Amino acid sequence: MEPTASSPARRPLASRESGWARAIAGWLVRHRVAPNSISVASVAFAGAAGFCFWMSSQNHWWLIGAAAGIQLRLICNLMDGMVAIEGGMKSKTGDVFNDLPDRFADLLIIVPVGYAVGYPDLGWCAGALAVFTAYVRTLGGAIGLKQDFVGPMAKQQRMAVLTLAAAIGIFAPVALPLALAVTAGGSLVTIFVRALRILRLMEQRP
């Protein structure tokens, strides 16, 4: 049976089963850290990453902070769901906090890269397309289909590309504009792939 929009929408992640993730989630549950607070913290880490990207135009070593901020944002994205579902701390507003902060986080990370490398339009384009991938996913859920996290440039892939670019960009600055172009192009493909899958599933309805 196809899950409906009311079913929990969770990105399939193998890391949920890892020992380190379970240990951190267990600590957060024991200390009663609210999942919504973890979701908000992810935006703070995204903002820190974006600030580091912006500052990297003056000193490339700021890119270390950018890569760290991205990974901390992703850990928060992992933990909020684990604490809410596996930890039994899901709140009535959890679905909003689980998704809405991510849209701000994407923009806070991606757009500053464009300013740092002198291509602000490319940064805004990549950021807007990244947000639009999530819109198409939630659109599928809104019409009663299972939310589709397929790539090739879903959130995990976007953040992997930017983390890698931050690491390489310390020594090869061309990595950053290239990463923006890859993120924008991959996000556009992802939008079309998700939209086509939604249309196909709608056509298969009785």
Give the domain ranges of the chain.
15-203
pLDDT in the model for residue 9: 66
pLDDT in the model for residue 4: 35
Token duo for residue 188: 């556009």
Q: Which fold has domain 15-203?
A: Four Helix Bundle (Hemerythrin (Met), subunit A) (1.20.120)
Token duo for residue 113: 């890269």
The series of mean pLDDT values per 10 residues for the chain, 206 residues long, is 42 80 93 96 98 97 98 96 91 91 97 98 98 95 91 95 98 97 98 97 90
List C-alpha distances in Å: 17 to 23, 25, 64, 129. 10, 11, 27, 31
pLDDT in the model for residue 12: 74
